[in-house]
């Protein structure tokens, strides 16, 4: 249900509103105002991000003998700083880092986040806990919807649209999905509408086209009920159970996504990544 309201705006604000009108996605002042309000009110629902940065990065040795993988440089910045830039762009300014291997170096570099326009807290994995287990270390801090990133990816995704999609579908978890022409290195998914129904561990070599898990999620606090104690993986221990219950959704996005898991993909990332700033 909509309701008509009338407001008087100064000329400078109107100029800013008019600048948003592109004739394609925003065609009028009304749509521009709706976009501004929705952007601020929707993103405000997600105030916190979790970044998984505790892995050993064994495939990136010898670099990772002395440097944790999230600090490997990409175009003049540590890899994971590009994720922080994305969060700041969407005004998500609370971050929890899960650190483990060489975690002191991550803590030393980013500190409390003040120098990066963000507030950072840390939880420490005494032993490797996988991609889901670290959530048990921060249960008391995850009381509202939150977004989670793998710490070894580069991604440019419209977080506003992603969060809005998740809120509309009202599931427990939404996975960002990226279409790749050759998905054989990654797991892919089967879908029914927007709902993820099944995970395919590794497609056959030469498989043409597939939606892969991009390592970015919007999650509800209820996700913690599905995470077992100790080492646990989102991909194997958590998401399949939620999919069986019909509460797991997939969001396909068009923005840039680059893996840095191997020397070859890292070299590609250095050459092709388009940073926000």
The catalytic residue positions are: 202
Q: How many Cβ atoms sit within 10 Å of the Cβ of residue 40? A: 11
Distance CA 213, CA 190 (A): 11
Distance CA 112, CA 97 (A): 11
DSSP secondary structure code for residue 204 in this structure: P
Which tokens go with 218?
Answer: 């919007």
**At 21, is the secondary structure helix, strand, or coil?**
coil
Nearest to 50 by CA among 156, 135, 115: 135
Which tokens go with 235?
Answer: 């991909």
**Cα R_g (the chain), whole angstroms:** 20
CB 176 within 8 A of CB 155: yes
């Amino acid at each position: 249900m909509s309701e008509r309201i009338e407001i008087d705006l100064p000329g400078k604000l109107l100029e800013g509103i008019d600048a948003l009108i592109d004739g394609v996605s925003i065609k009028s002042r009304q749509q521009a105002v709706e976009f501004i309000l929705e952007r601020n009110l929707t993103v405000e629902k997600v105030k916190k991000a979790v970044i998984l940065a505790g892995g050993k990065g064994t495939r990136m040795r010898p670099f990772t003998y002395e440097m944790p993988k999230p600090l490997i440089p990409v175009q003049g910045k540590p890899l994971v700083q590009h994720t922080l830039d994305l969060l700041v762009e969407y005004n998500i300014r609370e971050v929890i880092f899960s650190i483990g291997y060489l975690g002191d170096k991550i803590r030393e570099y980013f500190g409390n986040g003040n120098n990066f326009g963000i507030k950072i807290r840390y939880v420490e994995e005494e032993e490797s806990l996988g991609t889901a287990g670290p959530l048990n270390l921060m249960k008391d801090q995850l009381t509202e919807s939150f977004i989670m990133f793998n710490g070894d990816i580069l991604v440019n995704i419209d977080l506003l649209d992603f969060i809005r999609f998740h809120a509309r579908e009202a599931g427990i978890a939404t996975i960002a999905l990226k279409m790749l022409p050759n998905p054989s290195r990654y797991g892919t998914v089967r879908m029914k509408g927007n709902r993820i129904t099944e995970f395919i561990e590794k497609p056959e070599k030469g498989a043409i086209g597939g939606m892969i898990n991009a390592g970015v999620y919007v999650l509800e606090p209820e996700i913690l009920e599905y995470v077992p104690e100790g080492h646990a993986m989102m991909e194997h221990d958590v998401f399949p159970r939620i999919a069986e219950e019909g509460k797991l959704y997939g969001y396909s996005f068009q923005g840039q996504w680059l893996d840095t898991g191997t020397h070859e993909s890292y070299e590609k990332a250095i050459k092709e990544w388009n940073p926000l700033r």
